[in-house]
């Protein structure tokens, strides 16, 4: 694949219009170039989630203060291009300054109070510049999803606010910070560091690690944690601390106690460079993705009661259970919209030849949980599914079958509520249209059964037999139905136990499909 370089907005608009006309999803990864593994982690995530990935490279003069490093900010077109080409990025948008700020340009976005604290206090006007360019890029590229790094946590919070306040039709995904082996967060600005400064730079991540350990040992008083952070810096005269703070992740206002989801932020000057870093407090052993999820879902502190900001875990769980799309959980890797349709299109070359559609319970959060990603690795779900339908492996499976799911928001726990099923049914209805020659459907488990009966066949809840009752005598059930997506054609539907959610197993359906 050749990576396309785009320098002008009209060219970008026509590229994006073409992508959308092909029904493909589009990701944008905004950067200032001088790319490193941190940027590439965003690109990789974007490639997993969208069909087409655009990386923008623009060193935005309006986000630099008059005494800052705009002129000397590292620029390395050739190396960036090599990186992006070998990452199979579809297009690179590299506009000039006059393209982004033509003569007469005068409208700027004011992100409000968030832009005046922490980085905003140190760098007045910075977030105004960032917000203006990001909005401009969103309007030009119109991405389905835009990818940002946790490394710039305040920027993430500002961009999410921008999207929410201005109703921008884009989802913001956030990826964890990529670090050097010794903990230093990767940054284009690390090239400014002398060897000595580079050594001292590790203190940022070390101070964050230290307070994380303290919090896990039970010390959650922010003052004490901050004192400890400052002590780390006092020991290194090369480092000049700009700020160290423990904040509520929604508002970035100081948090009196560090709870899961609270964020410790630090910024320090070092020689001619300046470094920033952050760490999200989380339950012990939680992954960086989980912490991000908790932080981004945390509600703002209750100003009236002065209650400490706390992620409302129950509410979080409920929202995720209800719908991954509604919950907009940034760190979940698969947005429902693009989910199965994308994998179905990619992994099943000819959807017209599919005779049997298997509808499972919940789509896994991680695409690698899908049998087609690791067709040869033992996967209990896939092994039992193949047994059920009488095939040996994924190659045999996809010759006649395709797999989709009833719900796409299975983040925490196995319980799926009815509203989730109703919401996700719209994706299932769309997917059914992809298979014009479908003859049979296999429904796995109770949730898929309920959804299919109620939201695909349109049956009243009162007329839907309890799943356990239905399967009691034979371990499976069968009926012939007509689907709105398939007109007058009769469709055989088999209802079976879910291969992994339930203890019971349904007898093999192989005999039915041998004749298919
Ligand atoms: P920049 O080019 O510095 O404007 O960064 C572009 C994007 O890459 C931003 O969303 C950053 O947060 C993200 N990014 C920068 N460094 C890292 C890192 N070490 N790990 C993850 N993301 C990063």
314 pLDDT more than 60: no
Q: How far apart are CA 262 and CA 244, in angstroms?
A: 13
Cα torsion through 5, 7, 9, 11, rounded to 10 = -50
Residue 347 banded pLDDT, cuts 50, 70, 90: low
pTM of the model: 0.69
Q: Are residues 31 and 20 in contact, defined by beta-carbon separation less than 8 angstroms? A: no
Percent share of the chain, pLDDT over 90: 62
Name every residue whose Cβ is closer than 8 Å to that of residue 479 and which is 6 or more positions away in sequence: 492, 493
Nearby residues of 14 by Cβ (< 8 Å), 6 or more positions away: none
Say how far apart CA 388 and CA 358 lie, in whole Å.
Answer: 11
- Two tokens at 144? 């389905």
313-322 and 288-297 helices, crossing angle to 10°: 100
Q: Quickly list H helices, 50-102.
A: 77-86, 97-100
Ligand 1 within 6 A of 278 CB? no
**What does the alpha-carbon distance between residue 196 and residue 472 come to, in Å, rounded to a whole number?**
72
Which residue has the least CA distance to atom 18 on ligand 1? 38
Provide the 10 A C-beta neighbour count for residue 118: 22
**Predicted pLDDT of residue 363:** 64
Q: For residue range 432-468, what is the model confidence (pLDDT) as tens digits?
A: 988 899 999 999 999 899 999 999 999 999 999 999 9
Question: How far, in whole angstroms, is CA 427 from its chain's centroid?
Answer: 19
pLDDT surpasses 50 at 278: yes
Ligand 1 atom nearest to 179, measured from its CA: 19
39 lines ligand 1 (CB under 6 A): yes
For residues 82 and 30, give the distance between their C-alpha atoms in angstroms, rounded to a whole number.
17
- Rounded to whole angstroms, the Cα distance separating 362 from 425 reads 12
Ligand 1: which atom is nearest the Cα of residue 185? 19
In this predicted structure, what is the pLDDT of residue 335? 41
* Confidence category of residue 295, pLDDT binned at 50, 70, 90: confident
Q: Is the pLDDT of residue 316 over 50?
A: no
**Residue 309 predicted with pLDDT over 60:** no
Active site residue 39: yes
Q: Report pLDDT for 133.
A: 98
pLDDT of residue 240: 95
Q: Active site residue: 39, 90, 410, 455, which one?
A: 39
């Amino acid at each position: 694949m050749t990576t396309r370089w785009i320098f002008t907005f009209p060219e970008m608009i026509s590229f994006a219009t073409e992508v959308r006309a092909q029904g493909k999803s589009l990701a944008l990864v905004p950067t200032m170039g001088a790319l490193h593994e941190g940027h590439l982690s965003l690109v990789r995530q974007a490639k997993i989630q969208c069909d087409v990935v655009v990386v923008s490279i623009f060193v935005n003069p309006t986000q630099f203060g008059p005494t800052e490093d705009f002129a000397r900010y590292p620029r390395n077109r050739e190396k960036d291009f090599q990186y992006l080409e070998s990452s199979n990025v579809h297009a690179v948008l590299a506009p000039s300054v006059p393209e982004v700020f033509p003569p007469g340009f005068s409208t700027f976005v004011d992100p409000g109070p968030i832009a005046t604290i922490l980085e905003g206090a140190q760098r007045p006007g910075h977030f105004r510049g960032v917000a203006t360019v990001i909005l401009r890029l969103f309007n030009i590229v119109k991405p389905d999803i835009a990818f940002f790094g946790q490394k710039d946590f305040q920027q993430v919070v500002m961009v999410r606010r921008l999207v929410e306040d201005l109703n921008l039709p884009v989802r913001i995904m956030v990826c964890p910070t990529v670090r050097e082996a010794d903990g230093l967060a990767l940054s284009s600005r690390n090239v400014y560091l002398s060897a000595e400064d580079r050594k001292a730079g590790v203190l940022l991540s070390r101070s964050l690690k230290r307070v994380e350990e303290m919090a896990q040992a039970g010390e959650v008083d922010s003052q004490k944690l901050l004192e400890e952070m400052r002590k780390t810096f006092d020991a290194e005269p090369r480092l000049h601390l700009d700020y160290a703070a423990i904040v509520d992740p929604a508002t970035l206002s100081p948090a009196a106690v560090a709870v899961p989801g609270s964020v410790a932020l630090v910024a320090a000057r070092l020689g001619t460079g300046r470094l920033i870093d952050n760490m999200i407090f989380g339950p012990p052993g939680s992954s960086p993705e989980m912490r991000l999820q908790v932080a981004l879902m945390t509600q703002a502190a209750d100003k009236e009661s002065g209650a400490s900001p706390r992620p409302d875990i129950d509410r979080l769980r409920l929202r995720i259970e209800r719908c991954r799309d509604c919950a907009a959980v940034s760190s979940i890797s698969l947005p429902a919209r693009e989910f199965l349709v994308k994998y179905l299109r990619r992994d099943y070359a000819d959807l017209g030849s599919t005779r049997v559609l298997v509808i499972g319970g919940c789509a896994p959060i991680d695409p690698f949980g899908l049998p087609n990603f690791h067709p040869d690795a033992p996967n209990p779900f896939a092994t039992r599914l193949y047994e059920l339908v009488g095939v040996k492996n994924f190659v045999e499976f996809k010759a006649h079958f395709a797999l989709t799911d009833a719900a796409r928001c299975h983040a925490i726990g196995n319980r799926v509520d009815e509203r989730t099923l109703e919401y996700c049914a719209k994706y299932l209805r769309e997917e059914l249209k992809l298979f014009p020659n479908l003859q049979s459907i296999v429904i796995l488990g109770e949730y898929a059964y309920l959804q299919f009966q109620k939201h695909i066949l349109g049956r009243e809840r009162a007329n839907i037999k309890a799943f356990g009752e239905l399967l009691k005598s034979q371990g499976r059930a069968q009926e012939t139905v007509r689907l709105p997506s398939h007109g007058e054609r009769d469709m055989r539907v088999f209802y079976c136990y879910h291969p992994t959610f339930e203890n019971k197993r349904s007898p093999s359906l192989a005999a039915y499909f041998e004749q298919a």
